[in-house]
Every structure is written in C-alpha cells, then in structure tokens.
Structure 1
Amino acid sequence: MNLTVEDLLRISIPMGPNQRQEQCRRFRQIQWQLLEHNELATNTTELETEPCLDGWTYDQSIFTSTIVTQWDLVCDSQSLKSLSQSIFTAGYTIGAPLSGYTGDRFGRKTVLLAFSLFMAFLGTFSVFAQTFPVYCTIRFFMSLSLGTIYNNSVVLLLEWLPTNARPMIATAFSLTISSGQILLAGLAYVFRDWHMLQLSTSVPYFVFFLFLWWLSESARWLIVSGKLEKALKEMKRVAHLNGRKDVAENLHIEVLKSEMKDELAFLKNNSKKVKAIANPTIQKIIFLLCFLRFSAIFFVYGLMFDLQHLGSDMFLSQALLGVVDLPTKLLSFFVMKFFKRRPSIAFVFSLAGFLTFINIFIPQDIPFMRLGIAMMGKGSMAMYFSISVTYNHEFTPTAIRSTMQGLLAFTSGVAATLGSLVSITRQYFEPLPMILYGTFPIVASICVYFLPETMNLPLPDTIEEVEKRDKNYRKKCTKEQINNLLDTTEC
C-alpha cells in the first residue's frame, strides 16, 4: 500500500489530550480503520496502547545530535536530562570551597595550570563517553575545574592590579562572561552536533594552559606565604615588562621586608587560616558578601524561567541573554570610577527587585512589556556582577582571598539550585516565585549598608587592615580627616 508518513503515524500512534500525537506510546495493534475518513473522529482513548519498544525518531532540524538523542533521554528517562544539569551544578558547588583552599595553599598560578589542563582533557574525553553515567561523572569534574579556574583567575588578576586600574579591568573581565555567552550561541549555530560543540569549548583550554606558563604568580600570595625570594623575582620580572628597569634594579630583600613588614607580621602571628576566618569582622563580611551573591544568583536563575520564551529561535535567545548585559556592564566602569560602591550596589539591587514586583501585575497577554521589564532587571543585576569582581576582594585579606572566592562560588551554586526549585511553588500560589525573586534583592540592598565603603582603597593584606577599615569607617569623618584622607587613611 502506498501509505504516506502521516497515514502510518495515524494508524500507529494515538492522539494525546492536546490533539497531538503521543511521543511515548503507540497502539499495541495497528489500527487500520483509522485510515477511513469517517473514522477520523473515532475515540482512540479506549484502544490498547504500550510504550515505544523499538526506539524513537527525533527532530533533527535544529541539532543533528544531542545527549538526548544519543542516550534516549525521553519519556520515562526524561528526568535524566535535568539530572545531568543538576550534577554539573553540584560539581561547581562542591568544588568551589576546594578551589579556594587549593589556591591559598598552593598558589594561584599552580592551580590555574593544573585545572586548565584537567579541563582540557576532561572536555575532550567527554565526547567519547560510551554511557550516560560516565558522561555525567566527567561533567561533574569539568564543572569543578571550571569553578576553580574562574575563582583563581579573578584573584590572580586583582592581586596584580593597582587600585586605579581595578574598575577598568574588572569591567573588562565581567564583559568577557557576557561575550562568552554570545559566542556560545554562535558556536552552537555552527556546530549542530554536540560532540563538535563540546570539543570547540574544550580544546582551547590546551592553548590556555600554554599561555598560563607565561603568567607571574601573585607577589602578594608569595609574600604572605613567606616566599620572599620568589616574590622578589616575580616583581622584578613585572617591573621589566612594564619598562621600569630602575625600579627592578632597586628592589632587594631588605627593601621588600621594610615595605611589607605588616604582611610579614601577619604571616608570623596569624599563619593559620582558621584563625583568620574565625575573626568576628571577617565572619560578618563573609556573611554579608555571601548574602549579596546569593540574592543576585537567586534572582537571575529565577528570572531565566520567564526569559526562556524569548522566541522560537534558541540561538537568538541565547545571544540576547548575553547582549542585554553589555551596556550595563560598560556603564559599571564609570560607576566604579566616580561613584561609591555601597549606594551603587544598593540601587541596582532595589531596581531589580521592584521591577520584578511590577511584572507580577502585568497581564500574561502583554508578553513584550513583561519581557522588556525582565530584561531591564537582568541588566541591572549584571552591573552588580561587574562591580562585585572588585568589591568582594576589597574586604578580604590576601591569605584567605582565594578561599573567600570559593565560598562565594559555593553560595552561587546553592542559590542557582534553590532558584530553580522555587518555581515549583507556582502551583500553590501563582505569584509566589516572583515575590521571592524580588524580595531577596531588596533585602540585599539594605544589607550592603552594613559593609564599609571601599572606593579608591587598596586591597587589604592582613586582618588588622580589614578590622581598622571596618572600625574607622563606622566613625563619622570630619572635614579635616577627609582633606587628609590620602595621608592619614583614618576614615
């Protein structure tokens, strides 16, 4: 019989409640009577069906191959796709504190080298995974490596920067994240097979590994770790690269000891990291910074659920999610340069929260207005992420700076997980998820005022510097102190 594809599907696959053919069940017996035109309206719900036993046919018009098509993550196995994403997030969450410890223990450059090579091999090996459990295991360690690379690269970058250069470099660093999101859309558009897409994002880490050999280890970390000879060598090397040969020639161990006596005293008296973290001022700062990061990530991941309907073109949607951050992150450079940290962060948090509340009252049948307001909220929060690249480290002593970055990354993982789970509460009260997504940023905008202002201040190296900064800022500065700020550093 010359049956069309539509005819074969009609007699083999039952119709679902939405009047579309079922994706996971078929008739136990071929229903030839459905070929008759007068039988099209027959109730097929009483006909005996069974699960698909011979595999599935996939729509390959967008992607030729995905992990779903390779391991049939559909029907009863559909939840495994979400499981793979959760395992990836768990790797970042669990690995974040570990990355902080290793960075402070073994050095920023050493950890970057090791995990960049680890990431390159893992990403390449994942393409050849034969089973889904093996693939998920590799992805777990890939996520752990990514978190470690990000955390230590931020710390190493900031520890080499002079105070006046931090706003510009922090903005540039933040822009690379959005640019990477846009680039990923382009790579996915070119490579429609998941194996090639995975390789395109993994192989470059071999190149990064080679470039990292050229980097200098953090002189701050070397000094606090008691490695003065290596610190002196790295400082002379950087001075030569910057064309400051006169400075390089005048650098000696005695000069270094004289200039860094506070840091060396910290090394002698407070070498244990546990003692540093147990300090009440440090604990307060850690709690507040982690709450700010939690509120921001919780908001963004929650917002993604409303942004996923940007349009039918997933490549364009992915690119737009990165493009919307670019103007606000560029604006953050001028904000960091000319405005204080606390009111700037408080403003973007409160704006994001209030915009979310506004969206609750906009009807669903006005999608463009809802989308525009949601994108404004995401863009405002992007400014916080750009500012936080510098702000978070302006409170942390050198000895625990990488550990602090790891704690922030751990907080991000927890917030991302909870931000996804909160959407379940929508079935009990429709606006509840959006209320929660808007409440946390507003509370965070208040909490930021319990932290001291850090504009134009250098990175602290010791706990004593952090304590003094926190204590002095809570005092009211007189006009005379403000005029002599650069000389007295009293407020």
Structure 2
Amino acid sequence: MGFADLLEQVGSTGRFQVVHTLLLCLPVLMMASHNLLQNFVAGVPPHFCSAHTNFSASTRMSAAEKLHITVPIDANGSPEKCRRYESPQWHLLANNGSTDPEVWEQAALRGCDDGWTYDERERSSSIISEWHLVCSLRSLKSMGQTVYMGGVLVGAGVFGALADHFGRRVLLTMCYLLMAVSGTCAAFSPSFSLFCLFRFMCGMALSGVGLNSFSLIVEWIPTRVRTVVGTGTGYFYTMGQLILALVAYFIRDWRWLTFAVSLPFYVAFLYSWWLLESSRWLALKHKPEQAVKNLRAVARYNGRRADGKKIDVEVVQSSMKKEMSGCKSSYTSLDLFRTPTMRKMTVCLSAVWFSTSFGYYGLSMDLQKFGVDIYLIQVIFGAVDFPAKVIINITMSYCGRRLSQCGGIVLAGITILSNLFVPYDKQMLRTCLAVIGKGCLAASFNCCFLWSGELYPTILRQSGLGWVSMMARLGAMAAPLVLLLGEYVTWLPGFVFGLVPLVSGIAALLLPETLNTPLPDTIQDVEDRGTGRVSKTEKKEAIFLQDNADHLLKQTS
C-alpha cells in the first residue's frame, strides 16, 4: 500500500479536494494580471515636446496653434515626439497653418528641454508619463518588464528549493504576502528604480505561488483526475487575462490598477492558513505525526472520520516505505546532462520551452502595435486560449504529444512570420494572424507541461520541470529586449519571434512519443527508451498484462 491508497482511504475526490483546489486556483486568476500588467501600466500615450517655459502667447491662441508654432511635423504628418523648435515660429501663423517643410525645415531644433505633453484621454496616467520614459529613455519600458521576468526566474530557483526544505504551504503563504506587499509598494513607488525593484519581488513571489500551488494541488488528488484538474488550473490563468482587461477598463490610473491586482493576495494570505501541508512531503521529511494529523483532517472534512482514525504513524511509515527508501538517493541537475538520451532530451525540451515562452510574451506584451483598442485585443487574446487548449488536448489524445507540440509551435511561427507580409493598414488581418499565433503558443504551453512530466523519470521529474521552467523564464526575459530592435529595424522583432518557434519545432520532432506509454522511473528507463530497448518499467507492465490475459483465458475456458 502506497500514499495513493492512504488518500483513497480518507477520500481522494471529496469535498476537501474540491475546496482545497478551488482556494489554490483563485489566486491564479490574478497571476495573469501581474504577468501582463505592463500592457496597461506602461502603455505609451501620444506625446510631444512641451512649449517653452517663457512662452507667453496670446490667451486667445488655440492649443493647436500653440502646438503648430512650437513643434515640427514629422513625415507622417504628426507632431514630432522628441524635438521642438528652439524658439516659437510665429511666422507659421501667417502661413494660415501651412506645414510646408520649406517653411520650417531651416528652423533650429532641439530636444524636449521643458518636458513632454501627453494625451491622457485613453488612460489618466502610466509609468511612461509618470517618469517620462520616452525618446532617449524609451528602452526603459522594455527593461522594466525584463526585470520583472528576472524576478520570476530567480523565484523559480529560490522558492522551489526552499519548498523542499520548509514545505509547500509555508512558502506559499510567504509568497502570497510578498506578492501583496511588493505589489502595493510598486503601486506607490516614488521612482522608476524602486518600481523595478518591487516588480522584481513581485516576479519572485509569482513564481513561488505558481510552483507551490501546483504541488499542493497534485499531491492531494489521485492520478486519475490530474489531467482534468491540471487543465482546469490552466483555464483559471486564461480567465485572469479577461479579468485584467475588465479591471484595467474601469481603473485608468496605473497606480490604482497595480494596487487593485495586488489586493486579492492579502485575502489569499489570510485563508492560506487553512490549507493543509502535503502529507506525502511530511512523511518523506520524517514527520509522520503531522502527516497523520493532516490525513485525519481530510477524512473528517470528507465525512470519513472512522476511516481516518484507522491511520496512525505505523500505517503511514509502512505505506510510504518504498518512497522513503527511494529518497535516500541524491540527484542533482547535473544528472539531466550526464547520459546521452537525458542530455538530448533536456536540450530539446529547453529549446521548446524557451521558444514557446519567447513567442508568447513577444505577442502578448506589445498589444499597442495592432492598432486596435487595447482592452478589446486583451479580451480577444485571452479568449482564444479556451478553444486552443481544448484542441490541443484532443490532438494529444489521438495524434500524440510529439505531433501536437511540433504542429502547435510551427503553426505559431508561420502565422507570426506571415504578419511581416501584411500591410500595416490591414489591421484586421494582422490581428487575426496574431490571435491565431498566440492561441497556438498557449496550446503549446499546455502540451509542454504534460509532455515534460512524461519524458523525465520519476527520480528527476521535479528537477527536469524546474530546469525547463527556467528556460521558459529566460525566453520571457528576452522577449521585451527583442522588441527594442524594432526601434532600428521595424520588421526584425516579428522575424525573430517567428523564426525561433520554427527552429524549436524541429527540436520537438527529436523527442520520443509518450502517448499510451508508462512513465519512466529511472534514468536507465529513459536510456533504454532512447536506444529502442524495452525498459524495466515497460517490461514489468508487459508481464503484468500477460499474466492477466492468461488468467482471463483460463477463466473463459
């Protein structure tokens, strides 16, 4: 008897599992809000240089006339964003508003020494207008998101390792509080540098919330419902994208918006004390007394008090004997690269995770370029995830993981590259291609999680998932930096975002298929599968099936 049998005894799909999973999933709704918050708090409003400080034109002069004599017009017929006339060009008024370049091109120009004027009809404020992150400082917009993703990367390593020592629930509670406090501090930061610091902390906390929530969910539910529950958790994240668009529509000030998406984590921190630590983890950490206490609490909540009383320390120790003996062997991340098949598998999965995250955030973090209402495009980008994830789940079940992963990521690359050939004025077609590409990448993420868990052996499954998760964060960090290339070559970011998924699609084809195959338990199982030999796990399962078949034949005869 293993832990799964203990879980069945106290109720594996009872009221406790429903409430426990729901409470863990609710904060996931707001995780998407923090990941994509940059689209709203760092939206670049229309802007131009402010008029001269000693400008004393007639009060009867309209705002358009003031703008006309202080700011030159660019090639597109719009006011220059980063230059103004050195002195007011009064003669332009005599030309009846003429914008003939011959009239003003000889006039001396200079930078925006007196600041900028922003059109804040769309949003009342943003970090762009707050700290003037335009012109020579425009690269700081993307740098802010990169710093946030850097925090997510660091948090994946720090909180993942700490959870193995101190427990999932304790770290999760700490991350809820860290997310709430650092989000509040970011909302009311007096400087951009402090804003980046607190956003870095938000990123760290978000990683801890995601990792520990997932662990607590899967360690309290049986294997037969993990796929359904895992998919449901992903839909919570998708719904969070829609919630962000709704909240941002009604809260137009960037400070109050940041505070609003951080506030729910205070509530999560308060009710997190009700959550139970994983009894599996407690037993493996030689804390059987606490494991028994938690199992009995689950039994009471599920209406199985009598069954819970039958579980004591000896029962837990005997049931977990196999797992406890297995945890004596120590493995490190280096074991992901020691043997040929493991090394090939890790490199290919790293490419798939990196490119999926890279393309996903490359599309999701630059919604203004589509020329569509940003709230509408956020809703569309979030809604497309629902059918995309349904389709990928169907294809994974019938066509396999390899073709599903490769098809999803290659199709995303093709749609992104296709947008390079669509004229900028055809915004509807450009938006449709981007929506398809984003849906394919969201589906690819779903496949990544399941396939990676099936490829890595039991003894290294968490280390493997941790490694590829870090590769995904590197992709997310690289995405805003690549967007900066658009300042020099407008088509280059789209080319890079489309090319990288195409190349990683080839890497996906090099990975073995896992549809309807048993999970590998050891590194040797993985190596045997890579060389075409039957692994010990598969051999045992084949013998078991054969024995059952013989038994059924005897009964029939």
TM-score tier by shorter-chain length is: 0.7 to 0.9
Amino acid at match of 2:205: S
Q: Which of 486, 500, 506 in structure 2 is aligned with 1:437?
A: 500
Mapped pair 1:24 → 2:69: no
Name the counterpart of 2:478: 418
Cα pair distance change 1:336/1:232, threshold 3 Å: farther
Q: For residues 249 and 397 of structure 1, what CA distance do their matches in structure 2 show?
A: 35
Query: Given the two structures, how large is their TM-score scaled by the length of structure 2?
Result: 0.76
Q: For residues 79 and 128 of structure 2, what CA distance do their matches in structure 1 show?
A: 20
Name the counterpart of 2:437: 377
Secondary structure of the corresponding residue to residue 57 of structure 1: strand
Equivalent pair of 1:391/1:454 in contact (CA under 8 Å) = no
Where do residues 86-485 of structure 1 align in structure 2 (5 Å cutoff)? 86-268=146-328, 270-271=329-330, 273=332, 280=339, 286-304=346-364, 309-332=369-392, 334=394, 340-353=400-413, 355=415, 368-394=428-454, 403-422=463-482, 424=485, 427=489, 432-433=495-496, 436-449=499-512, 452-453=514-515, 464=522, 467-468=524-525, 471=528, 474-475=532-533, 481=542, 484=545
Cα pair distance change 1:117/1:404, threshold 3 Å: farther
What's the CA shift string for 1:454-477, capped at 9, x where partnerless?
76x68x8xx64x654764795457
Q: For residues 478 and 104 of structure 1, what CA distance do their matches in structure 2 show?
A: 32
Deviation (angstroms), 1:202 = 0.6
Amino acid at match of 2:510: C
Unmatched tracts of structure 2, length 5 or more = 1-57, 550-557
Amino acid at match of 2:156: A
Amino acid at match of 1:195: R
Mapped pair 1:3 → 2:36: no
Q: State the percentage of identical aligned residues.
A: 32
Q: For residues 485 and 285 of structure 1, what CA distance do their matches in structure 2 show?
A: 31
Deviation (angstroms), 1:315 = 0.6
149-158 or 376-385, which moves further after superposition? 376-385
Equivalent pair of 2:142/2:481 in contact (CA under 8 Å) = no
336-345 or 104-113, which moves further after superposition? 336-345
322-331 or 357-366, which moves further after superposition? 357-366
Equivalent pair of 1:103/1:402 in contact (CA under 8 Å) = no
Cα pair distance change 1:219/1:338, threshold 3 Å: farther
Q: Which of 49, 55, 76 in structure 1 is aligned with 2:115?
A: 55
Query: Given the two structures, how large is their TM-score scaled by the length of structure 1?
Result: 0.85
Amino acid at match of 1:237: A
Amino acid at match of 1:481: A
Equivalent pair of 1:356/1:377 in contact (CA under 8 Å) = yes
Name the counterpart of 1:64: 124
Amino acid at match of 1:443: I
Cα pair distance change 1:267/1:210, threshold 3 Å: same
Secondary structure of the corresponding residue to residue 216 of structure 1: coil
Cα pair distance change 1:302/1:84, threshold 3 Å: closer
Deviation (angstroms), 1:55 = 2.6
Cα pair distance change 1:360/1:76, threshold 3 Å: closer
Deviation (angstroms), 1:481 = 2.3
94-103 or 18-27, which moves further after superposition? 18-27
340-349 or 84-93, which moves further after superposition? 340-349
Q: For residues 125 and 211 of structure 1, what CA distance do their matches in structure 2 show?
A: 22
Secondary structure of the corresponding residue to residue 117 of structure 2: coil
Q: For residues 335 and 36 of structure 1, what CA distance do their matches in structure 2 show?
A: 69
Deviation (angstroms), 1:448 = 3.1
Report the RMSD for the aligned CA atoms in angstroms: 3.5
Amino acid at match of 2:503: F
Deviation (angstroms), 1:313 = 0.4
Q: For residues 225 and 3 of structure 1, what CA distance do their matches in structure 2 show?
A: 77
62-71 or 355-364, which moves further after superposition? 355-364
422-431 or 152-161, which moves further after superposition? 422-431
Secondary structure of the corresponding residue to residue 14 of structure 1: coil
Cα pair distance change 1:274/1:168, threshold 3 Å: closer
Amino acid at match of 2:137: S
Unmatched tracts of structure 1, length 5 or more = none
What's the CA shift string for 1:147-204, capped at 9, x where partnerless?
1211221222122221111111111111111111111111110000011101111111
Mapped pair 1:36 → 2:104: no
Deviation (angstroms), 1:298 = 2.5
Q: For residues 116 and 143 of structure 2, what CA distance do their matches in structure 1 show?
A: 21
Name the counterpart of 1:15: 73
Equivalent pair of 2:355/2:472 in contact (CA under 8 Å) = no
What's the CA shift string for 1:56-108, capped at 9, x where partnerless?
22111111011112212222222222221221122112332112211222211
Q: For residues 193 and 217 of structure 1, what CA distance do their matches in structure 2 show?
A: 39
Q: For residues 548 and 334 of structure 2, what CA distance do their matches in structure 1 show?
A: 31
Name the counterpart of 2:16: none
Name the counterpart of 2:28: none
Cα pair distance change 1:317/1:23, threshold 3 Å: same
Amino acid at match of 1:383: A
